[in-house]
Amino acid sequence: MLLGKNNQKDRYAKLDKIKIWHPTKNGKLKPADFPGVTWKKVWWICKKGHEWQAKEYKNVKIGCPYCAGKKVCGDNSLAAVNPELAKEWSYKKNAGLTPHDVTSGTEKKVWWKCKRKHEWKASVNKRNRGSGCHYCSSRRICKDNSLAAKNPKLAKEWHPIKNENLKPENVFATTKRYFWWRCKKGHEWRAKCSSRSEGYGCPYCGGGKICNENSLSATNPRLAKEWHPTMNGALTSKDVFANTKKFIWWRCKKGHEWRATGISRNSGNLCPFCSGRKVCDDNCLATINPNLAKEWHSTRNGNLTPGKVTLGSPVKAWWKCKKGHEWQAVINRRNRGNKCPYCSHLYVSSEFSLLTIKPKLAKEWHPTKNGKLKPSGVTSKSGRKVWWMCKKGHEWKTAISSRKEGSKCSICCNRKVSAVTSLLALNPKLAKEWHPTRNGELLPENVVPGTSRKAWWICKHGHEWQAIVVSRNKGHGCPYCSGVKASMENCLAAKNPRLAKEWHPTKNGKLTPEDVLPGSNKKIWWICELGHVWMREVIYRKNRGCPECAYALKEALKSRGGSVGGGVAGELTNKLRRKTKQKSKYFTEKSINYPFEKLPKMKIFDKKSKSAKKC
């Protein structure tokens, strides 16, 4: 404690206050005997009873040397203040110096020995402040904390040459210094010892650095064949990993060139041109599907053309069909067969709306229950269910596609089956023609006469056919008995076998004279006895022969001043040819001069009077 320089009263008051003047060992001397600052040694005593001798000025400035830890005593020694730390005192190396001989705050360096028998030198005050063993805390190397001791497996990868004279026994396992390493495969690299202790292995084996064993050319030689030979500069397939994220130039077998990362190619991504993900001349829409390209809208697609898109493109484009309908659709869907939605009745147009296609049915559209939806806004094939109202005011809901032109209200036509409304009850005569086996579990008592359901029927003559119940209820009979369909009894072969002989054997496909009726409007290929081939409806073959033969006969008759009616020319020609045994394509003089009166009676017209006469 420093007192005022010239104020003795203050100095004495201070000394008296702290009571450090020794009362006995200074003899008769009193603080008052020193009028100024003196350098004479006197005895002092502190509150704790420590006694010491010091000059007055110096003592007042410094205070008790025992309390301040400058001198050792029983209560400020290391053994007294920190007995646990005193246990680590190295008695052997401190040459007789003990924890009782030093204070806990001394700067003196002494030897210590921890529980693990490590010995080191450190000041007492640092140890008293918490400083531990230098070896246990890895501040100094020893056999217990070295890399060789802590991680012997890692120590085996220590490079034997490139680390100068250092060994795994000379470094900490956690040091951040760089060292050389060598793995089992002989790869060499530099890395921190601490990072290696944390688990980082060989960068070559782990794919962090490139080498001969892990390069693209080694791991995926098939992919390496598509490495572009010129556009990657000095970089080769031996300089990158197969899973590199670097963009590389590639070239496929067809010569297509493109950039892609190694990892995407190694994952299986093929040439974008060959797979249709990018456009080129040989995979564009115009080349692959020219018929579809014809429906490409010429003005509404901007600069986009069929030559700039692929078949698998997800881009929406504008199209225009032959009928002039315009719509937007994805290119790949169109390539899969999606046609014009207007022509397919999927979209509504004025020409395909319900109002246009089925105007009578549109009259039964419910005026209020369908909201803003009108017959002009739907197609006749729509599966949408809407409300209908018949003339009698009956209301019902059903799909548009289920209704046909002229179909009546289900309530009006008794479509709901009951014992009273069934076919068996209302038309028992028709129910007798119900096929007993070919309708499964369906019976006449399970259907109403007005149903549009198809069923199998069998007539008295054993003819079997399929027809809608409502059409049969309206009076439609057996199509074979009525001559609508051909059967063995009414076919052309049965009714007109002579005409059936002129049926062309090959040009009518699978159709035979047994499959058509004599009155059929179907056009058929024919061949006459002379080999003339022509096409004509079956019904118009009645009393009409080969047109070429008939023309030749007419020309022959002109020379004799008469003509033959068109209806009998062919028949007369055939009879004349058979009588004269004519085989030539054209009539001979013998045929022309043949006496017609010997032929069966037929109508011959006089060219001048045009009146009928017999020959």
The pLDDT score that the predictor gives to residue 60 is 55
The pLDDT score that the predictor gives to residue 151 is 87
The domain segmentation of the chain, as residue ranges, is 8-62, 78-128, 147-197, 216-266, 285-335, 354-402, 492-541, 547-614
**What tens digit of pLDDT does each residue of 357-384 get?**
888 888 888 999 999 888 888 887 788 8
Contact 167, 158 (CB under 8 A): yes
Q: What does the alpha-carbon distance between residue 510 and residue 502 come to, in Å, rounded to a whole number?
A: 16
Give pTM, 2 decimals: 0.36
Q: What does the alpha-carbon distance between residue 603 and residue 572 come to, in Å, rounded to a whole number?
A: 9
Who wins on pLDDT, 452 or 585? 452
**What tens digit of pLDDT does each residue of 29-87 get?**
777 766 555 567 888 888 777 878 877 655 555 678 777 777 888 777 888 888 888 88
Q: List for the chain the helix, strand, coil content (%; round to 5).
A: 25, 20, 55
**What tens digit of pLDDT does each residue of 152-208 get?**
998 898 999 998 888 888 888 888 889 999 999 889 889 998 888 888 899 888 877
The two tokens of residue 56 are: 């007055």
User: What SS3 class is residue 558?
Assistant: helix
Q: What does the alpha-carbon distance between residue 417 and residue 409 come to, in Å, rounded to a whole number?
A: 14
Say if residue 582's pLDDT is above 90: no
Q: Judge residue 283's burial from the number of C-beta atoms within 10 Å of its C-beta, 0-12 exposed, 13-18 middle, 19 or more buried.
A: buried
Cα Rg, the chain, nearest whole Å: 61
Q: What does the alpha-carbon distance between residue 423 and residue 417 come to, in Å, rounded to a whole number?
A: 9
Amino acid letter, residue 183: C
DSSP 8-class letter at 513: G
Q: What does the alpha-carbon distance between residue 238 and residue 218 come to, in Å, rounded to a whole number?
A: 8
The two tokens of residue 601 are: 């009676």
The pLDDT score that the predictor gives to residue 607 is 42
* 247 DSSP β-pair partners: 261
The pLDDT score that the predictor gives to residue 74 is 75
Q: How many CB atoms lie within 10 A of CB 321?
A: 15
Least confident of 39-43, 313-317, 506-510, 573-577: 573-577
Contact 326, 320 (CB under 8 A): yes
The pLDDT score that the predictor gives to residue 585 is 41
Say if residue 598's pLDDT is above 70: no
The pLDDT score that the predictor gives to residue 398 is 86
**What tens digit of pLDDT does each residue of 445-497 get?**
888 888 889 999 999 989 999 999 999 999 999 988 888 888 888 898 888 99
User: What SS3 class is residue 389?
Assistant: strand
What does the DSSP assignment read for 139-208? SS--TTTBHHHH-HHHHTTB-SSTTTT--GGGSBTT---EEEEE-TT--EEEEEHHHHHTT---TTTTTS
User: What SS3 class is residue 2?
Assistant: coil
Who wins on pLDDT, 503 or 584? 503
User: What SS3 class is residue 540?
Assistant: helix
- Which residues contact residue 534 at a Cβ distance below 8 angstroms, ignoring those fewer than 6 apart? 525, 526, 546, 547, 548
**What tens digit of pLDDT does each residue of 401-450 get?**
888 766 677 666 666 666 767 888 889 999 999 999 999 989 998 888 88
E strands present in 227-378: 247-251, 257-261, 316-320, 326-330
The pLDDT score that the predictor gives to residue 414 is 61
The pLDDT score that the predictor gives to residue 594 is 46
Q: How many CB atoms lie within 10 A of CB 43?
A: 18
Give the residue among 348, 401, 399 at the shortest CA–CA distance from 376: 348
Give the per-residue SS3 of 45-76. Answer: ECCCCCEEEEEHHHHHHHCCCCCCCCCCCCCC
Contact 196, 181 (CB under 8 A): yes
Say if residue 349's pLDDT is above 90: no
The three-point CA angle 369-375-376 to 5° equals 135
The three-point CA angle 449-451-452 to 5° equals 130
Across the chain, mean pLDDT equals: 80
User: What SS3 class is residue 135?
Assistant: coil
Q: What does the alpha-carbon distance between residue 341 and residue 347 come to, in Å, rounded to a whole number?
A: 5
CA distances from 321 to 191, 289, 295, 328, 379 (A): 70, 15, 5, 11, 18
Band of the pLDDT at 392, cuts 50, 70, 90?
confident
The pLDDT score that the predictor gives to residue 418 is 63
The pLDDT score that the predictor gives to residue 468 is 94
- Which residues contact residue 289 at a Cβ distance below 8 angstroms, ignoring those fewer than 6 apart? 311, 335
Q: What does the alpha-carbon distance between residue 1 and residue 492 come to, in Å, rounded to a whole number?
A: 148
Q: What does the alpha-carbon distance between residue 552 and residue 586 come to, in Å, rounded to a whole number?
A: 6
User: Quick one: which H or E segment has residue 614?
Assistant: strand 612-614
Using a pLDDT cut of 90, give the percent of the chain over it: 23
CA distances from 121 to 95, 115, 142 (A): 13, 15, 15
The pLDDT score that the predictor gives to residue 44 is 82
Say if residue 9's pLDDT is above 80: no
The pLDDT score that the predictor gives to residue 464 is 92
**What tens digit of pLDDT does each residue of 547-570 get?**
887 777 776 666 555 555 544 455
Side-chain-facing half-sphere of 35: CA atoms under 13 Å: 0
Across residues 16-37, what is the average pLDDT? 69
Which residue intervals of 294-427 are DSSP H helices? 331-335, 354-357, 359-362, 423-426
Across residues 295-312, what is the average pLDDT? 89
CA distances from 244 to 229, 247, 261, 322, 461 (A): 18, 8, 7, 51, 84
The pLDDT score that the predictor gives to residue 578 is 59
Say if residue 131's pLDDT is above 80: yes
Q: How many CB atoms lie within 10 A of CB 348?
A: 18
